[in-house]
Copies of this chain bind each other. A is one copy, B any other.
Amino acid sequence: MSVIYDRVALIGLGLIAGSMALAMRRAGLAGEIVGTARSAETRAIAAEIGLVDRVTETAAQAVAGADLVVLAVPVGAMGALAEEIAPHLAPGATVTDVGSVKRAVIDAVGPHIPQGVHFIPAHPLAGTEHSGPRSGFAELFDNRWCLLVPVDATDRVAVDRLRELWQKMGANVEQMDADHHDLVLAVTSHVPHLIAYTMVGVADDLRRVTDSEVIKYSAAGFRDFTRIAASDPTMWRDVFLTNKDATLDILGRFTEELFALQRAIRTGQGDMLFDYFTHTRAIRRGIIEAGQDTDAPDFGRARKLQ
């Protein structure tokens, strides 16, 4: 148990902040954990389940005297939040965030950060389809990646301290440039989510196949899409609006490729399909070897439903 920050302020008490509170407590990384959320109901639940040591009414109260402030709200709400807390930040404090888009957060938050406060954008690549103050768990970041995206002239000591926090919460930490981050995440996360949302929407909208059929027969592949498409709507609206360029760029590549496969189906090019599907199988093996998933079939579904 080694305290890294004396007082951590978590603003927004959803899946990520809640998991951070539990992970910090697991390893004794914070002297005191203060939390707040815009919704009175969220604050009441957090207080009731003891998610943090102290719940405050406002973000300004939460950040007072904190040496680490974590902005854990939807990307679209970061700018106004930064403006609200700026006058109350302690000198020498670090402000970080957990948003899924980095360039937009830097543009929105950066200008409000006072002299003498360190701003270190971050993004833990972890999550589930659940949200809200009851959804967190201490193991969420174990063996997952957290990307730090320091802006120019960020204090090295402050970065190392935040890196240590994430490592002791279980994550592997890497640094990345903001624009590259946004492109990589468009590929590995943002466009896959948009596609899953779309496919679930199509299934629901198709009058010739009933909803109950879609639901009953979902185990054939569709089920995994619905899990992704159950993620928090506000968070994802903001992701697409704030990472617009990279999302549209990758979407363009995706439709181009989809049309090529569609054409192969229409014209009966079996060899092309076979080669394509063989190639994608190899990528799966890479992910298993990298420890980012298990080789258990179907995520162990069979075992869990017994």
Q: Which residues of A contact B (CB under 8 A)?
A: 76, 100, 125-130, 135, 137, 139-140, 142-145, 147, 183-185, 187-206, 208-209, 211, 213-231, 233-234, 236-238, 240-241, 244, 247-248, 250-251, 253-255, 257-258, 261-262, 265-266, 268, 270, 273-274, 276-281, 283-287, 290-294, 296-306
Contact: B203 with A187, CB < 8 Å?
yes
Q: Report how far A306 CA is from B195 CA in the complex, Å.
A: 30
Contact: B227 with A284, CB < 8 Å?
yes
Q: Report how far A284 CA is from B135 CA in the complex, Å.
A: 16
Contact: A201 with B291, CB < 8 Å?
no
Q: Report how far A130 CA is from B248 CA in the complex, Å.
A: 33
Least Cβ–Cβ distance between A184 and chain B, in angstroms: 5
Q: Report how far A184 CA is from B296 CA in the complex, Å.
A: 27
Could you list some 21 contacts between A and B, CB below 8 A?
Answer: A128-B297, A130-B297, A184-B209, A187-B203, A187-B214, A187-B222, A188-B222, A189-B222, A190-B221, A192-B199, A193-B221, A201-B280, A202-B250, A206-B253, A215-B286, A229-B281, A236-B277, A241-B273, A296-B304, A299-B299, A299-B304
Contact: A209 with B187, CB < 8 Å?
yes
Least Cβ–Cβ distance between A78 and chain B, in angstroms: 15
A298: B residues at CB distance < 8 A: 127-129, 227
Q: Report how far A208 CA is from B287 CA in the complex, Å.
A: 19
Contact: B265 with A184, CB < 8 Å?
no
Contact: A200 with B283, CB < 8 Å?
yes
Most interface-central of A203, A279, A299 (chain B CB within 10 A):
A299
Contact: B187 with A195, CB < 8 Å?
no
Chain A interface mostly: helix
Q: Report how far A222 CA is from B283 CA in the complex, Å.
A: 11
Q: Report how far A286 CA is from B137 CA in the complex, Å.
A: 24
Contact: A266 with B244, CB < 8 Å?
yes
Contact: B187 with A234, CB < 8 Å?
no
Known: A187-B203, A188-B217, A231-B281. 12 other contacts (CB 8 A): A125-B220, A127-B298, A129-B284, A139-B303, A185-B220, A214-B283, A229-B277, A233-B273, A233-B278, A240-B265, A241-B268, A294-B304
Least Cβ–Cβ distance between A170 and chain B, in angstroms: 10
Contact: A244 with B230, CB < 8 Å?
no
Least Cβ–Cβ distance between A59 and chain B, in angstroms: 23
Least Cβ–Cβ distance between A269 and chain B, in angstroms: 9
Least Cβ–Cβ distance between A306 and chain B, in angstroms: 6
Q: Which residue of B lies closest to A290 (CB)?
A: B215
Contact: A280 with B217, CB < 8 Å?
no
Q: Report how far A153 CA is from B238 CA in the complex, Å.
A: 56
Least Cβ–Cβ distance between A86 and chain B, in angstroms: 25
